[in-house]
Structure 1
Amino acid sequence: MKIEGLSTSFGKKTILENIDLTIKKGKLTAFIGPNGAGKTTLLTTMSRLIATEIGHIYLNGQDLKSFKSRQLAQQLSILKQMNHLNMNITVSELVAFARFPYSRGNLTLDDKDKINLSIDQLGLSDLAETNIQTLSGGQLQRAYIAMILAQDTEYILLDEPLNNLDMNFAVQMLHLLQKLVTEFGKTVIIVLHDINFAASFADEIVAMKSGKIFAHNQTDDIIHEDILNPLYDMSVHIKNIDGKKICLYF
């Protein structure tokens, strides 16, 4: 995925300013940066949920604007940060929505296999027939993530997917995303607030600040005090633990 000269404004406020960025295929790329940096807006624009005002976004060499909706939904999926679905449906029915771009509601055996596998991968098999309105915040978040996985797209965009997840499920989910990248060739782009998760799991990091790309490189080259301190306007100390760079900031 390639972004050229992307700028976005809401009213008189500039949210994204002249973004040039190339996301490598088959990698897990994390977006980090302070609140208001433009991470969510960039991710949402990359999924075409927000229209491109200035600039271009290319997916596998094709302008994002030229994709038909169904065609795009077979190649790219996104989990937004805020999800509110006021429907009395089960977890299984929610996850089944992911297969609509392929079967238009007439589920095939392949669809059902992908639905069941995604539910199992997120540890929701016992809750598959449970109404989503009765789920805890963490259970519902896992159900939404299962829906994204069942869509089975080449590109997976996730905006703060660890919200409401406890440590155990957060780590499990990141291991699963790593597996999707390394074993199945998926391209995962994820917005993270926890820079230690980014440091431990991402192949590359895009650091954003004030609507601009502050830094972009392989993870090991981004997790440095001379980058993180001015990025967050605070003192970040980095320690090596079991070969991983861990950031101490409190």
Structure 2
Amino acid sequence: MAIEIKNITKSYADKKVVDNVSLTLPQGKITAFIGPNGAGKSTLLSIVSRLLRADSGEIRLNGKPLEGQKSSDIARQLSILRQSNHINLRLSVEDLVAFGRFPYSKGNLSAKDRTFIDNAINYMNLQAYRSRYLDQLSGGQRQRAYIAMTLAQDTDYILLDEPLNNLDMKHSVQIMQVLRKLADELNKTIVIVIHDINFASCYSDHIVAMRDGRLVRQGTVAEIMQTSVLQEIYGMHIPIEEINSHKIALYFRE
């Protein structure tokens, strides 16, 4: 099955930030949400994860409405990493990643839980930092620790809101490679809000484009990474070149 988004609308005051959006997010693939700031991407992702309640519409997970399902049951199916993470406790990397196992362990970690924690730390190349406190890490290291926490939750659906924030090029590539591996080898369904359309082009299977709260386009990388389509999304002329079989947007020049 997949995540089905049906006629979702969300307003703040008189402004619609998500305007009657309907789409299906394919299973076992990476779907990238792109679009200008204020397009409604993060709001829609928060609605899918039940962090926000829509004014109208429905989200279905594996064919069942999310509304009415227990939070504990959803947490075993779907995990989300929000754009802003603020934990006011002095935690080590290992302690943080262990939070990802809470839907299963309820705070009493088993040997199986610890295996998932170790695997997530290794996936994100954080072995050398597992005993360090979060406030001792760089922004990029801290972001990787939060992603490791999400991976430790071991859900079929992983939602990530701007996970490349605070990361340099090397670690951004590493994270996208990990996500690609999770989709290809473990059939995880990855949904990612991302600003850099070239990362979306190189690593995703499906691209959803939003603008002013509305769904503008959706399709394969080949269908979306076209100058005419990007003009419609971003309101600027963006040349496209093919490099190593990838469509690259030259958005730094007209």
TM-score normalised per structure 1: 0.99
What corresponds to 1:85 in structure 2? 87
What corresponds to 1:63 in structure 2? 65
Q: Distance in 1 between the 2:48 and 2:162 partners?
A: 15
Q: Distance in 2 between the 1:168 and 1:80 partners?
A: 22
Shift, 1:163, TM fit: 0.4
What corresponds to 1:246 in structure 2? 248
What corresponds to 1:174 in structure 2? 176
What corresponds to 1:234 in structure 2? 236
Shift, 1:230, TM fit: 2.0
Choose the corresponding residue for 2:120, options 108, 118, 124: 118
Give a deviation string over 1:166-221, Cα, whole Å, max 9, x none.
11111111111011001101000000100000000000000000101000011111
Q: Distance in 2 between the 1:207 and 1:83 partners?
A: 25
Choose the corresponding residue for 1:137, options 132, 136, 139: 139
- Partner AA of 2:21 in structure 1: I
TM-score normalised per structure 2: 0.97
What corresponds to 2:225 in structure 1? 223
Shifted more, 196-205 versus 227-236: the winner is 227-236
Q: Distance in 2 between the 1:77 and 1:208 partners?
A: 22
What corresponds to 1:9 in structure 2? 11
Secondary structure in 2 matching 1:123: coil
Give a deviation string over 1:103-157, Cα, whole Å, max 9, x none.
1011011100110111111111111011111111111000000000000000000
Give a deviation string over 1:47-66, Cα, whole Å, max 9, x none.
00001220111000110112
1:162-201 equivalent positions in 2, closer than 5 A: 162-201=164-203
- Partner AA of 1:118 in structure 2: A
Q: Distance in 2 between the 1:6 and 1:89 partners?
A: 37
Q: Distance in 2 between the 1:187 and 1:105 partners?
A: 26
Question: Any stretches of 5+ residues in structure 2 without a counterpart?
Answer: none
Secondary structure in 1 matching 2:109: coil
Choose the corresponding residue for 2:206, options 204, 216, 232: 204
Shift, 1:235, TM fit: 1.2
Q: Distance in 2 between the 1:20 and 1:220 partners?
A: 21
Give a deviation string over 1:27-62, Cα, whole Å, max 9, x none.
100000000000000000000000122011100011
- Partner AA of 2:75 in structure 1: A
Shift, 1:229, TM fit: 1.2
Q: Distance in 1 between the 2:215 and 2:243 partners?
A: 28
RMSD, matched Cα: 0.7
- Partner AA of 2:69 in structure 1: F
Runs of 4+ in 1 over 4 A off after TM superposition: none
Q: Distance in 2 between the 1:212 and 1:226 partners?
A: 18
Secondary structure in 1 matching 2:6: strand
Q: Distance in 1 between the 2:97 and 2:55 partners?
A: 32
Q: Distance in 1 between the 2:178 and 2:114 partners?
A: 20
1:29-40 equivalent positions in 2, closer than 5 A: 29-40=31-42
Secondary structure in 1 matching 2:67: helix
What corresponds to 1:94 in structure 2? 96
Q: Distance in 1 between the 2:55 and 2:69 partners?
A: 17
Q: Distance in 1 between the 2:232 and 2:66 partners?
A: 33
Match status 1:51 vs 2:45: no
Percent identical across equivalent pairs?
Answer: 49
Question: Any stretches of 5+ residues in structure 1 without a counterpart?
Answer: none
